[in-house]
Amino acid sequence: MPKSKRGERITLDDELLTPAEVQQILRCGERTLQRYALDGTIPSIAIKQGRAKKTYRFPRRQLEDWLNERAAVSA
């Protein structure tokens, strides 16, 4: 089974969100989201496209858990 950068298992039932969808949810820019994915701040899966280019997908369930954790910390 694939794992997210945070080491959580991804199943075929998990809905994967595109960067554009997550940007709308988080209300952040493309570079900010890419930085979060790259440094492991946000749960993500890197998908290689071609030789050097890669994009990310974001498991909805893990993203929701991540958002809830952040909301609990700030409350």
Q: What is the pTM of this model?
A: 0.77
Q: CA torsion, points 29, 58, 64, 31, in degrees to nearest 10?
A: -20
Residue 9 is classified by DSSP as B
Q: What are the 10-residue block averages of pLDDT along the chain, 75 residues in total?
A: 56 85 96 94 89 88 92 74
Length of the chain: 75
Residue 34 CB partners (closer than 8 Å, separation 6+) = 19, 56
What distance in Å separates the CA atoms of residue 53 and residue 35, rounded to the nearest whole number? 15
